[in-house]
Amino acid sequence: MKAFTYERAASPAEAAAAATRRPGAKFVAGGTNLLDLMKLEIETPVHLIDVNGLGLDKIEPTAEGGLRIGALVRNTDLAADERVRRDYGVLSRALMAGASGQLRNMATTGGNLLQRTRCPYFYDTNQPCNKRVPGSGCGAIDGFNRQHAILGVSEACIATHPSDMAVALRVLDATVETIRADGERRTIPIADFHRLPGDTPHIETVLRPGELITAVTLPPPVGGTQLYHKVRDRSSYAFALVSVAAIVQSDGSGRVALGGVAHKPWRVEAAEAELPHGAAAVAKKLLEGAKPTQENAFKLKLVERTLAAVLAEAKGARL
Amino acid sequence: MSLNGAPPMQPPETHDLSRRDFLVLGTSTVASAAVTSDMPAQEAPAAASTQDAAAPATAKASFQVNGMPCDLELDTRTTLLDALREHLHLTGSKKGCDQGQCGACTVIVNGRRINSCLTLAVMQQGSEVTTIEGLGTPEDMHPLQSAFVKCDGYQCGYCTAGQICSAVAMLDEIKAGIPSHVTEDLTQAPQLTPPELRERMSGNLCRCGAYSNIFDAINEVAGGQA
Ligand SMILES: Cc1cc2nc3c(=O)[nH]c(=O)nc-3n(C[C@H](O)[C@H](O)[C@H](O)COP(=O)(O)OP(=O)(O)OC[C@H]3O[C@@H](n4cnc5c(N)ncnc54)[C@H](O)[C@@H]3O)c2cc1C
Ligand code: SF4
């Protein structure tokens, strides 16, 4: 691990200011992704700004009837919150499908959104990777890419975003609140938060340098049956090959988003109009323009089948 | 490194070539063998050289371990696990993968289980840390420690401290009503069923595969409802 200096920030604005003052500085929250990558010298911050203890660990009702989740709320606490379990079940389910009990006790809402890909070539510093070293090439495109993306891919990168939570936030139409060094705050719809790889796969979100996530806001509850199905190589403690977050209403209408298939949670609103026509129709629209590799073409069928399982369960819940 | 207030709980290893040194020698031999093979190595320095190498920095960290106050001045890179093992000589917590994947380093911080390899010691300012040494002693074992002995919840024992710390906090999580991936009804309190116990322990791997005995030990302490 490269050496770094360390400070505890005193307020969100000061944290953002400190990060802007020191090029090469990074925030640390739970540390579960950043420290892992620092040990491998994939991340090499020269200064760490600890954003724990800024009072960003509360879940509060909003005036609109939604919930405002502080960026430092731990994944365990968010999944266990009574309001989340009752009104945003898909979020609770997605969180509980991720990582382990120990990790969820550390992992934060903001850090989870910003966790980096699990592409094995990204993790192996002996391999080319445009995300890790821009311009070095992509080891995965002609390599072992069974886990990789089938949608929104580019010539430069076919990595997936590994977060389960983000898929649920996408189907819930969450927004991300931030603060910058000059104190300016902005609100970013989750749909616009993560970027597709294009020819700059190392730039993963629309955040500017030094911009701190302060909260994630959920709109008022939309009801319905809320489900999260995650298909993986073992039944617990593994990243998704494909996941489906769904909210299905009693009339059969609803929303769906996919995880494990793209550089960001994948949602196509036009596909949702097909929900009353069944999984195959929805999958067809969701997967339009898909570019699988030979090794991960199975994900096309897996998306359809996982969707079918989710819709069947939703139907069962309504009976 | 200074350790004020708390004497080391165990003397550091004194024999000439400890088992750990031996393991280190072993792995470095493997590593140098790998380097001499013709693997492309051009990218690693590029990744590292994006920033100028900074000089090692130290910072103070004060927290309690098993009820004892510890004031340390540490290289900022020191993980909580390394602080416990290398500086406080509490070697019960084990370093398995050092990547948060195996759970051998699990300790309880402020009542919650975490992977001590993925947090920095300096981030634990003011925390209360409980390690396996703080749960019980050979003369006065924690019920889970006794149950692991009784049910033979291990073979090599490397994962055991992590399994036990994890299980202690896991049972508290069920008591606190925290749901899991296999909890069917999110609006109800989770139950002590076998699938619940197994899912909740999935962050602790056992290479010997002693899972069924580990399960029996935890289940016995949980009240055997599962
Ligand atoms: C073994 C293992 C298995 C896992 N399995 C899963 C899984 O199945 N599903 C899943 O979804 N995840 C999984 N994870 C990933 C885990 O969810 C993430 O590591 C975690 O959510 C990251 O949160 P953190 O608070 O620890 O982030 P950190 O590691 O502290 O930070 C991550 C990044 O976010 C930045 N950051 C943190 N907070 C802020 C903020 N407020 N504003 C701006 N930037 C910020 C940091 O600078 C850093 O770049 C797994 C992790 C491990 C180690
Ligand atoms: S898929 Fe993306 S992350 Fe993986 S090697 Fe290629 S560029 Fe790197």
Q: Of A2, A41, A106, which is closest to B118 when you measure between CB atoms?
A: A106
Q: Which residue has the higher pLDDT, B72 or B31?
A: B72
Identify the helix (H) or strand (E) that includes residue B143. helix B143-151
Q: What is residue A118's predicted lDDT score, i.e. its pLDDT?
A: 98
C-beta of A42 in contact with ligand 2 (< 6 A): no
**What pLDDT, in 10s, does the model give residues A191-215?**
999 999 999 999 999 999 999 999 9
- pLDDT for A174 beyond 50: yes
Atom of ligand 1 nearest to the CA of A71: 41
Q: What is residue A67's predicted lDDT score, i.e. its pLDDT?
A: 98
Q: Of A3, A30, A79, which is closest to B54 when you measure between CB atoms?
A: A3
Query: What residues of chain B lie within 8 A of the CB of A136, using their CB?
Result: 43, 46
Chain-wide mean pLDDT for chain A?
97
Angstroms from B120 CA to nearest CA on chain A: 8
Q: Which residues contact B26 (CB under 8 A, 6 or more apart)?
A: none
**B73 DSSP β-pair partners:** B60
Confidence of residue B225 (pLDDT cuts 50, 70, 90): low
Q: What is residue A178's predicted lDDT score, i.e. its pLDDT?
A: 98
- In the reported structure, the alpha carbon of residue A115 is separated from the centroid of ligand 1 by a whole-number distance in angstroms of 4
CB contact under 8 A, A100 and B75: no
Confidence of residue B17 (pLDDT cuts 50, 70, 90): very low
User: What is the rounded average pLDDT of the residues A136-161?
Assistant: 98
Pick from A22, A34, A105 the residue to mutate for testing the B interface (most B CBs within 10 Å): A105
User: What is the rounded average pLDDT of the residues A236-244?
Assistant: 96
Q: What is residue B55's predicted lDDT score, i.e. its pLDDT?
A: 87
Identify the helix (H) or strand (E) that includes residue A69. strand A67-70
Q: How far apart are CA A187 and CA A203, in angstroms?
A: 19
Q: Which residues contact B183 (CB under 8 A, 6 or more apart)?
A: A96, B190, B196
**A59 DSSP β-pair partners:** A69
CB contact under 8 A, A133 and B79: no
Angstroms from A288 CA to nearest CA on chain B: 31
**What pLDDT, in 10s, does the model give residues B51-104?**
456 789 999 999 999 999 999 999 999 999 999 999 999 999 999 999 999 999
- In the reported structure, the alpha carbon of residue A201 is separated from the centroid of ligand 2 by a whole-number distance in angstroms of 8
User: Considering only A105-109, B24-28, B69-73, which range has the smallest mean pLDDT?
Assistant: B24-28
Confidence of residue B41 (pLDDT cuts 50, 70, 90): very low
Q: How far apart are CA A12 and CA A183, in angstroms?
A: 9
- pLDDT for B42 beyond 50: no
Confidence of residue B48 (pLDDT cuts 50, 70, 90): very low
Q: What is residue A96's predicted lDDT score, i.e. its pLDDT?
A: 98
- pLDDT for B36 beyond 70: no
In chain B, where the domains are located:
58-135, 136-226
Q: Do domains B58-135 and B136-226 have the same CATH topology?
A: no
CB contact under 8 A, A102 and B41: no
**What pLDDT, in 10s, does the model give residues B120-174?**
999 999 999 999 999 999 999 999 999 999 999 999 999 999 999 999 999 999 9
Q: What is residue A319's predicted lDDT score, i.e. its pLDDT?
A: 66
Could you tell me which CATH class the domain B136-226 is placed in?
mainly alpha
Q: How far apart are CA B49 and CA A115, in angstroms?
A: 22
Q: What is residue A318's predicted lDDT score, i.e. its pLDDT?
A: 73
CB contact under 8 A, B43 and A128: yes
* Minimal-distance CA residue to ligand 2 atom 8: A129
| Beta carbons of A86 and A43 less than 8 angstroms apart | no
Query: What residues of chain B lie within 8 A of the CB of A22, using their CB?
Result: none
Q: Find, in chain B, the residue whose alpha carbon is nearest to that of A82.
A: B187
Type of residue found at A161: H
Strands B68-75 and B3-4: antiparallel
pTM of the model: 0.91
Q: How far apart are CA A260 and CA A244, in angstroms?
A: 9
Q: Which residues have C-beta atoms less than 6 Å from ligand 1?
A: A 26-34, 36, 51, 71, 98-99, 103, 106-108, 110-112, 114-115, 162-165, 212-213, 239; B 100-101
Q: Which residues contact B48 (CB under 8 A, 6 or more apart)?
A: A2, A41, A44
Q: What is residue B47's predicted lDDT score, i.e. its pLDDT?
A: 38
**What pLDDT, in 10s, does the model give residues A150-167?**
999 999 999 999 999 999
Confidence of residue B224 (pLDDT cuts 50, 70, 90): confident
Chain A touched by B62 (CB under 8 Å): no
C-beta of A157 in contact with ligand 2 (< 6 A): yes
Identify the helix (H) or strand (E) that includes residue B107. strand B106-109
- pLDDT for B19 beyond 50: no
C-beta of A153 in contact with ligand 2 (< 6 A): no
What percent of chain B shows pLDDT beyond 70?
Answer: 76
Atom of ligand 1 nearest to the CA of A94: 11
- In the reported structure, the alpha carbon of residue B5 is separated from the centroid of ligand 1 by a whole-number distance in angstroms of 35
Ligand nearest to the CA of A138: 2
Chain A touched by B161 (CB under 8 Å): no
Chain A touched by B123 (CB under 8 Å): yes
Q: What is residue B2's predicted lDDT score, i.e. its pLDDT?
A: 34
Instruction: Match domain B58-135 to its CATH number in 3.10.20.30, 3.30.2320.80, 3.40.50.1000, 3.40.1170.60.
Output: 3.10.20.30
